[in-house]
Amino acid sequence: MPFRVLKDALTDGLAARLGRLSLPRRRPIETPNFIAVASRGVVPHLTPDNITRHTSFGGAHMALEDFLDKKEPAILNVPPSQSKVLHSFTAFPQHLATVLGPRRCPPVRTPSGNGSKSLTIWTSNGGASLTIAEYATYVEKLQPDIAVGPADLFHTSPTPSKKLVRMAERTEDWMDQFLLDGHGRPDRLRDADVAIFAPVLSAPYPIQWQYLNSLAEDHAGHLSGLALYGVDILPEVTENHESLVPLARLSMQLPPSPQDVLAQVAAGIDVCTIPFVNSASDAGVALAFQFPPPVAGVAGDLQGPGVTAATATPRPLGIDMWSPDHVTSPSPFVEGCPCYACTKHHRAYVHHLLRAHEMLAWTLLQIHNHHVLSAFFESIRCVLETAPGAAFREYVRSFADTYESEIPLGTGTRPRVRGYHFKSEGGEGKANTPRWEKYDENAQLTTASNAHNQTENGGDEHEGQWHATLGCHSDAQQGSTK
């Protein structure tokens, strides 16, 4: 069993627990903790060497659909080596764990739902079907550290419907096929150091009772953890299925804010999957929260621009680096933060990089934001270790009172998204702004004329600005204005 519970903090209705997830040849993951979310095998904006030097998360979630862009995927052509195929192909740091699932986090909505014997996935070439047998074969070949079992999930809406019963039945059948139809597959996966996490749907417990009972009675010996797409079901799972209690709990219910992360930890989640770190970095937002929440006026107080000890709460969860307030600011992203980005660079620099659309801006933000989240979970573990459940609950309430409920959206331009990242819905505009526009000569002449008038009215001090505006026109035109 790769997971071990170190301290069960089940007091006053609090189900949080301390543990350690030890995977062969990987750095142990102290829990509660989080894993990063990768895109096409890469944590966005971070190279493997930067991950090793400047981050401390324990692993990353990768989606199989990201690699199935051809009839013969390139990932299957990796020559045998001492490391696992998924690690070799992605050049992922050897001390970190890989978590492989069929779909991305969050997944792009597919045009149609899953079939009775296959998952519908969204690759860079569009929609495709992936049978359960094919997924199991890929897991055996790629050898991730953790493989999430196939689940029949909603493809159009998270709203419950009459399909819930069928979804639970399909998931049960798919897990049976994944584990039992491979002629000793669980043993081969165990020999290859692949831990299997069984999916648990976001559906009421009575609908999933038969499936969960099957996991507890027939498959518990093959499982290392549960991948929960709905956290609310945990109390009933632990109460009614004793053999599933010692398993690691990976949350696939994606939290939109740190308040939701705290709620998942309090419910008993061991490892969280958190894509809002990537989205905040893409938006040019530097995360600025800590747990327990800071006390106003105390050294190390993390606060955004314009927030002082006397300022009323709530405080922002992040700082928009696109804001013109940072044009000349020599301050670090967050005061007191010891991460590489905050100790080596300042707000004015990253603001300039964002305005220039330099990739380094998002790299520095990713380094900072992942550090903030790592420190957040480290503090959670410290509180659970040293304080009783009542103190943890009080800190959670104080955090909710101290900070805003949503992470700032950012006011600038995000990096360009690809088709496998985003699928527009009816009535939505384009996700990417056009890089080039049709040349409009009349508009250019109007701009030049306005600049000429400003120069005549403003004198020589604006002459340089006017010439810059007319850079695309002839030297003769520039000379005539002089």
Q: Tell me the per-residue pLDDT of 305-340, one tens digit each, with 9 for 90 and over.
A: 344 434 457 899 999 999 999 999 999 999 999 999
Q: pLDDT band at residue 434, thresholds of 50, 70 and 90?
A: low
Alpha-carbon Rg for the chain, nearest whole angstrom, is 26
pLDDT score recorded for residue 299? 40
Question: What mean pLDDT do residues 108-113 have?
Answer: 82
Which H or E element spans position 252?
none
Report whether pLDDT(300) > 70. Answer: no
Weakest-pLDDT range from 51-65, 394-408, 433-447:
433-447
Helix (H, G, I), strand (E, B) or coil at 251: strand
More confident residue, 431 or 16: 16
The pair of structure tokens assigned to 451 is: 């600049």
pLDDT for position 157: 53
Q: What is the DSSP string of 216-233?
A: IIIIGGG-SEEEES-GGG
Mean pLDDT, residues 349-362: 96
Task: Evaluate whether 320 touches 411 at the Cβ level (below 8 Å).
Answer: yes
Mean pLDDT, range 165-183, rounded to an integer = 89
Phi, psi for 74 (deg, rounded to 5): -65, -25
Q: What is the mean pLDDT of residues 363-391?
A: 93
SS3 of residue 284 by DSSP: coil
Q: Give the span between the Cα atoms of 292 and 95, in whole angstroms.
A: 29
pTM, rounded to two decimals: 0.85
**Closest alpha carbon to 481 in 466, 469, 468, 461:** 466
Question: What is the distance between the alpha carbons of residues 63 and 210, in angstroms, rounded to a whole number?
Answer: 28
* Ramachandran class of 214: left when φ > 0, alpha when ψ lies in -120 to 50, beta otherwise: alpha
| pLDDT value of position 476 | 38
Kindly indicate the confidence band of residue 467, based on its pLDDT and cuts at 50, 70 and 90.
very low
| pLDDT attached to residue 413 | 85
pLDDT value at residue 246: 94
Comparing C-alpha atoms, which of 284, 305, 407 is closest to residue 350? 284
Residue 465 pLDDT greater than 50, yes or no: no
**CB-CB neighbours of 301 under 10 Å:** 18
Name the residue type at position 314. Answer: P
List, by residue range, all CATH 3.20.20.105 domains of the chain: 1-273
Residues 6+ positions from 46 with CB-CB distance below 8 Å: 55, 363, 366, 367, 370
**Is 339 marked within a binding site?**
yes
219 is an annotated ligand-binding site residue: no
> Taking residues 418-428, what's their average pLDDT?
57
State how far the alpha carbon of 476 is from the alpha carbons of 441, 467, 471, 472, 482, in Å.
18, 12, 12, 12, 10
What is the pLDDT at residue 309?
39
Confirm or deny that 452 is annotated as ligand binding.
no
pLDDT, the chain, mean: 85
- The answer to whether 472 is annotated as binding is no
Residue 404 has pLDDT above 90, yes or no: yes
Tell whether the model's pLDDT for residue 27 goes beyond 90.
yes
Q: Please report which helix (H) or strand (E) contains residue 162, including its range.
A: none
- Mean pLDDT, to the nearest integer, of 140-152? 95
The rounded distance, in Å, linking the Cα atoms of 309 and 474 is 57
Lowest mean pLDDT among 102-116, 204-218, 245-259: 102-116
Q: Which CATH number fits domain 1-273: 3.20.20.105, 3.40.1550.10, 3.40.50.720, 3.40.50.1860?
A: 3.20.20.105
